[in-house]
Amino acid sequence: MNFDFSEDQEHLRNEARRFLEARCGIGVVRGVLDDGARSHDADLWAALVEQGWTALTLPEEHGGLGMGRTDLCVLAEELGRVLAPVPFASTVYLLAEALMMAGTAAQRERLKDIAAGRCIGCIAIAEGPGEPSPARLAAEVRGGRLHGVKLPVVDGNAATLALVLARNGGQVRLHLADLTDPSVTRAPVDTLDPARDLARIAFDGTPCEPIGDEGLVDRLLDRAAVLIAFEQIGGADRCLETSVEFAKMRYAFGRPIGSQQAIKHKLADMYVNNQIARSNAYYGAWALESGSDELPSAAAAARVAACHAYWYAAREGIQTHGGIGFTWEADQHLHYRRALQLDMTIGSPRAWRDRLFSALEAQADEEL
């Protein structure tokens, strides 16, 4: 079985990399980082929409291109390499996937707006510090209207449509809520990575509609975990590349620092972690594309491995660059910020390890 990308997908990767190198230099990332009034780079977002990236996996009848999830994994990796400051994951991996998986015919009509860039999505699950759980959930729907506060919400200030986890008649399920409604109040939240938008969203009688059943949120997060893992791998690989380049050109005591054993070990460990993460992500991509019953365990494994690989590569990338790596002018801290932000986007690595153990136990029980 070949888990590698096809020739067409490698061509897609090359074209995506060329496009992003031209349109998303590090200055674009720093522009959003330094400007607290911007939730994302609107010009880059418009360019991605124009290129058809938001429509990639959407059905053709809804204005999409009808391509596969593996193709989307290719784009995700390239977006991760350049730290793209856009709400792509929230809109495409989460909102669009939820609509395609469980939306009614009327709800699926919103896919046309996603394809055209008129709709930006987010998912609102957490309600403060700590792992979200049904027992702690306070948001509720009464009479078709949503009440409660969600915090933090990734891309919550940029979004126009939210997936909100709330109680409804004894059930805990996702709901679609229009964030442009006057009953919605939003405020920015300070974050370690200001290049990615975080918000506090308060709902005070906001009209909403349920989508899917109670199990939708877990199935949706499994799918998003695979795609976000590729973003993390893209960032981790970029950290390794820049560290290797620096280790070759930086001299200390008359020789490149890359010739020193301590630096070699750092770079070797980064490479091994990245390859382990990539192997798990390929397995997740196969499970996602094929609709395999192994997706829960494959997604959790990809998520855990990718979180560790990116965090380690970003941290050791700073160390490899020495005193220069700790300066604001150096770019290494940008990857460290993004690694920590992605660690918590759809649940912490610890929560995903628990999901992995549960998935493996369930598989073992089925085999007995």
The CATH number of residue 258's host domain is 1.20.140.10
Assess whether 253 and 354 both reside in one domain: yes
Residues 165 and 97 in one domain: no
Among 172, 195, 210, which residue terminates a domain? 210
Tell me, yes or no, whether 83 lies in a domain.
Answer: yes
In a domain, 31, yes or no: yes
Residue 1 is predicted with a pLDDT of 52
357 shares its domain with 230: yes
**Measuring CA to CA, how many Å separate 137 from each of 125, 144, 147?**
9, 18, 12
Task: Please say which residue of 186, 210, 234 terminates a domain.
Answer: 210
Q: Average per-residue pLDDT in the chain?
A: 94
Question: pLDDT (tens digit, 9 = 90+) per residue, 199-211?
Answer: 999 999 999 999 9
Can you give the length of the chain in residues? 368
Q: How far apart are CA 94 and CA 346, in angstroms?
A: 10
For residues 244 and 192, state if they share a domain. no
Flag whether 22 is in a domain. yes
Q: State the pLDDT at residue 254.
A: 83
Residues 201 and 266 in one domain: no
With tokens 């009614």, the residue in question is: 104
Tell me whether residue 1 is in a domain.
no
For the chain, what is the domain count? 3
Whether residue 220 is found in the same domain as residue 363: yes
* 304 part of a folded domain: yes
Do 131 and 157 lie in one domain? The reply is yes
Judge whether 301 lies within some domain.
Answer: yes
CATH number at residue 175: 2.40.110.10
Distance CA 244, CA 298 (A): 30
Residue that finishes a domain, picked among 210, 237, 271? 210
Does some domain include residue 2?
no
Please tell me the predicted confidence (pLDDT) of residue 132: 77
Please report the DSSP string for 11-53 in residue order: HHHHHHHHHHHHH--HHHHHHHHH-TT-SS-HHHHHHHHHHTS
**Are residues 146 and 81 both part of a single domain?**
no
**Which parts of the chain have pLDDT scores under 50?**
none
| Residue 130 and residue 44 share a domain | no
Looking up tokens 């009688």 gives 205
According to DSSP, residue 6 is labeled P
Query: Which range marks the domain in which residue 187 is found?
Result: 121-210
pTM for the model? 0.95
Q: Is residue 300 part of a domain?
A: yes
The residue written with tokens 């009440």 in the block is 147
Residues 101 and 220 in one domain: no
Asked if 99 and 189 sit in the same domain, the reply is no
- 292-345 pLDDT, tens digit per residue, is 999 999 999 999 999 999 999 999 999 999 888 889 999 999 999 999 999 989
For residues 179 and 236, membership in a common domain is answered with no
38: CATH: 1.10.540.10
